[in-house]
Structure 1
Amino acid sequence: MPRNPSTGVYSKPAGTTPSVGQVIDPVPWNALTTDLGNEITNSLPRDGSAPMVAPLKAASGTVSAPGVGFASNPQTGMYLKGGGLLGFTQNGVDVSFDQAMIYAAKAGDYTALASDNNAIHRFTAAAIVTLTAAATLGANWHYTVIADGADVTIDPNGAETVDGAATLIVPNGYSAFLICSGSAFFSNKLMTKILSKADSSAVGTFIDGVLLSNNSGSPNTHVDFAAGSVRSGSSFVSNAASITKRINGTWAVGTGNGGLDAGAVAANATYFAYALRKTADGTFDVVLSTSATIAGVTTTLLTGYTIVKCIGVVLTDAGSLIRPFIMNPRDDYTYVTPVKDAVSAAISTTSALLAITVPNGVKSKAKLRIQFTSSATTNAALIHDPAQGTLTAGIGNDGGISGAIQVASNYAIGSSDIWTNTSKQVRQVAGAAGNIWVWTDGFHFPCGRNA
């Protein structure tokens, strides 16, 4: 075989270069013609009538002179890049092709690797996606995250950033496309726009969902907060699932943990529930405080959190246990067992304040039922908002909400929703002396729910 298999150079067999007058030896000449026939057979026909029977080995080439080009345009074709990578060039300009798309479902935290280039990962539960260092992943590395079950937090390596921030949250039901510059990460800005819009003060103030209820397993000490979202001005937070906080423990992050901002649970107390937003990742939590204002909440335990808005209230009874309640639409509360706040209490023409079982420190509208008796006939009892001043009971004066029907010592009943003062009091007065019973069925404490 006179063709060198490594270089492809053909060399004639020895004894096939005759001189004039020399008798030709048929042995080498027959070998020559056989070799020529074999090599012609082993050559690739220009008309493409026969295929290659072994790998085609082309020159490495360059981006401007590819190893495999075209007669009409030699600068378009394929060449070998550094590191054994295949390159494509068009008119001397490099053309990039993406690697195959990779899909996988994930159910927890994950570290994105260089091998995840062009991957699409769907997360079916809350997760943190930690990104490998940008320098390791390299420029043009790209990755897609789908949040399909809970929020997903994307956390770059060390001090590296995504869209200039320490983390990027992909809310449940959304996705984000990431690309690496070699030193930082950037998204397609969809989440940035959504979160920016969510933090825009122009959207308004509201509570959507996040209803309160006694926990079914530990109703005396635990409060459940349903899924929903809360906004106040430029601060917004949402939770995809309900969480539970204990009223008999100081605050700690997460569901099932203590909820008090300070101190121990007290008897006959009012605890205001405030939605919290974690500054780092926007996650939701709740703190309980006796303060009726955000300014009065003790924040010692709340480092890294912003208090967004008051979302409800919980009352305790004489045993420091949560008073069983039902939360209705539009911030309306009904006690499972009505509270008897007056039992045959004296009432007269002298106006007096009456304390009832409603939140302390704020005005609320109490849902009251009364029963009234008096030895005087045609008597009337009046309960009203202390903000109205001092009213006078009776049909010729300011009326009443119950009255005896022309019979001395008879009983009359009535009901009304009455606004209280901030000391959880209403005002009572009668047209003549008598006795009154008052049941408090619940109250309305407006926090911002419209449904």
Structure 2
Amino acid sequence: MPSDSNGNYSLPPGYLAEVGETIQPSQHNPPLEDIRDALTARLMRSGAAPMAGPLKLTDGTVGAPAVIFNSAQTTGFYKTATGVGLAISGSLIAEWKSTGLEIGGRVDFVTETLLADKAVTLRKLYKPSGPSKLLGTNSNAALTITGAANNGSGLIRLSVADSSTFATGQKKTVFDVLGTTEANGTWTITVVDATHIDLQGSTFTNAWTSGGTIGGGVDELGLGAGLQLTGSTLSASLSPEGTTRKLAVDVLTNTTLSVTADAVVMSDGTSTLTRPINSTGVNLGTNGGVDALQGSLTIASGTMYSLWAIGKADGTTKVLVNTSDTAVTFPTGYTFKALIGHVRTVSGSANLMGTKQRGKKVRYIVGLAQTTTGLVLITGASGSISTPTWTAVSLSGLIPAAAVSVVVSVTNNGQANGIALVAPSNSYGSPTSSNPPPIVAGASSSPAIQGYVAAISEILLESMNLYYAATAGSMMLLGWEEP
């Protein structure tokens, strides 16, 4: 089709007919065929057919855009000096450039933020150095690296102008180092002095040639005490250390027990770890690992054992058993701990007494392991109930030293006129005293009401002794409450 570069159409030569001349097919047919081709190549207003090539537009201006709307002819798109602009009512609102989108004027829902360095990357967002890491900014700018060398021990040592905004133990990402390319990546750092930073775990191999930054933008932030990041949820822990939810400790056999909990708060001294525990096969017949006795300890008779929940930073939890209420020797990789309970072995054999613990409450269970009968602390007449004169009954070895209370049963053993008293100290009065009254179990001499009388009570401990006085009776230990 004879169209010039500006789209001007010209009819084929020889089309013109003269008056009185016969019109030849060569005059008639080519123009109509050319018109047919031209109409086929048109851009249909209905949009029924697509463009077969690029659509060329005039550059336009901010006041007369190249692409406009019929009802708003100063609104549309036009070619700017550096990109493509969007004009609304003759004003530039946005411009697409090779460096990205720039927003002009006032747009309330858009916030413009300038990132000064390359520390914000998908590498940091998608590849943190470990689980449950919080990404954010401490507002400290990236440092320019001016050199890299062997620190004398094989680690990479970076030179910077001023390291005062960084701290040992922080996670920092290194970018764009040339030569010592092995420095690029995320590292735990050691601030050596005012101008040097070591990359922990690195290996210096290649000489530094130029370039590089460290830190800035998005960094891994530490969680303060009382905060726990689990998956994508940041929450306050159940602190303090040793707090539990739905804790259950069950002696199973003479040497084994089960420890489970929906959550236990453990601490490494500076931060907390809150995790569930599911150690259903803790074995005091083994040692040197986890869910076992600590180190080289062996199960012994007449011993109170401390139950520790222990955890790793990655969330792994187990149980460790020892004889200390204050410290543990951790197996490899474990750094978090919490004292959660106690079990004890029977005097005379290295076998566990049968107990069950729910939360902080522990009870002896008759018929379980070595708890074959109730634990009678004292029986028969003792002291005097009238003054009274008390007999101290030691609880040492029967309950943990830090127990806050015990549950006891005191009875008159079914004796006529039998009365038995128990109190947490020897300052309590007689059965008829009102300040302070003891716990009383007794019976009258009247045949109609003689019989076996028992009182069960939880007593808040004032020492590791209970105090007993009786004309006849006994006192039995049922359990205790953990601190």
- C-alpha contact (below 8 Å) 1:271/1:315 kept by paired residues: yes
Residue of structure 2 in register with 1:51 after alignment: 48
**Amino acid of the structure 2 residue aligned with 1:90:** L
Contact 1:231 1:237 in 2 (8 A): yes
Q: Is the 8 A contact 2:61 2:78 kept in 1?
A: no
Query: Which stretches in structure 2 are left out of the alignment for 5+ residues?
Result: 88-93, 102-117, 138-169, 172-214, 367-372
Contact 2:413 2:474 in 1 (8 A): no
Q: Write the distance in 2 (CA, Å) between the matches of 1:398 and 1:326.
A: 31
Closer, same or farther in 2 for the Cα pair 1:244/1:380, shift >3 Å? same
What code does the residue aligned with 1:94 have?
Answer: W
**What residue in structure 2 maps to residue 76 of structure 1?**
77
Deviation track 1:104-143 (CA, whole Å, cap 9, x = no partner) reads xxxxxxxxxxxxxxxxxxxxxxxxxxxxx9988479xx8x
- Tell me the secondary structure at the aligned position of residue 226 of structure 1: strand
Q: Does the alignment pair 1:333 with 2:369? A: no
Identify which of 156, 161, 178 aligns with 2:128: 156
Contact 1:347–1:430 (8 Å) recurs in 2:
yes
State the alpha-carbon separation in 2 of the partners of residues 263 and 64 from structure 1. Answer: 87
Matches within 5 A, 1:322-361: 322-328=352-358, 331-337=360-366, 339-342=374-377, 347-348=382-383, 351-356=390-395, 358-361=398-401
Distance 2:354 2:460 in 1: 22
Residues 381 and 281 of structure 1, relative CA distance in 2, 3 Å threshold: same
What is aligned with 1:37? Answer: 35
Q: Which has the higher helix share?
A: 1
The partner residue of 2:343 within 314, 320, 339 is 314
Q: Label 1:135 to 1:404 Cα distance change in 2 as closer, same or farther (>3 A).
A: closer
In the alignment, is the contact (CA less than 8 A) between 2:242 and 2:340 conserved in 1?
no
- Residues 63 and 75 in structure 1, CA contact (< 8 A), matched pair in contact too: no
| Structure 2 counterpart of 1:368 | 408
Which amino acid is 1:418 matched to? I
Match of 2:257 among 222, 226, 229: 222
Gaps of 5+ in 1: 82-86, 98-132, 143-153, 167-180
Q: Distance in 2 between matches of 1:64 and 1:402?
A: 103
Match of 1:127 in 2: none
Q: Secondary structure at the match of 2:353?
A: coil
* Inter-partner Cα distance in structure 1 for 2:441 and 2:36: 121
Structure 1 residues 237 and 298: alpha-carbon distance in aligned structure 2, compared to 1, 3 A threshold: closer
Partner of 2:145: none
1:300 Cα deviation after fit? 3.4
Corresponding residue number in structure 2 for 1:441: 478
Change (3 A) 1:158 1:341: closer
For 2:258 and 2:437, locate their aligned partners in 1 and report how far apart those are by CA, in whole Å. 42
Deviation of 1:390 after TM superposition, in Å, equals 6.4
Per-residue deviation, 1:214? 1.7
Q: Would you say the 8 A contact 2:249–2:358 is kept in 1? A: no
- List per-residue Cα deviations over 1:254-285 (Å, max 9, x = no partner): xxx4364772333333333344554x456655
CA distance in 2, matches of 1:62, 1:156: 47
Which of 74, 86, 90 is matched with 1:90 structurally? 86
Q: Evaluate the alpha carbon distance shift between residue 321 and residue 8 of structure 1 in structure 2; reply closer, same or farther with a 3 A threshold.
A: farther
Number of aligned positions between the proteins: 348
Query: In the TM superposition, what are the counterparts of 1:242-321 in structure 2 within 5 Å?
Result: 242-244=278-280, 246-248=282-284, 249-250=286-287, 257-258=291-292, 260=294, 263-276=297-310, 278=312, 280-281=313-314, 285-292=318-325, 296-301=326-331, 305-307=335-337, 309-318=338-347, 319-321=349-351
How many angstroms does 1:205 deviate by? 8.1
Closer, same or farther: CA 430–51 of 1 in aligned 2, 3 Å: closer
Cα offset, 1:246, TM superposition: 1.0
Cα distance between partner residues in 2 of 1:276 and 1:69: 70
Structure 2 counterpart SS, 1:41: helix
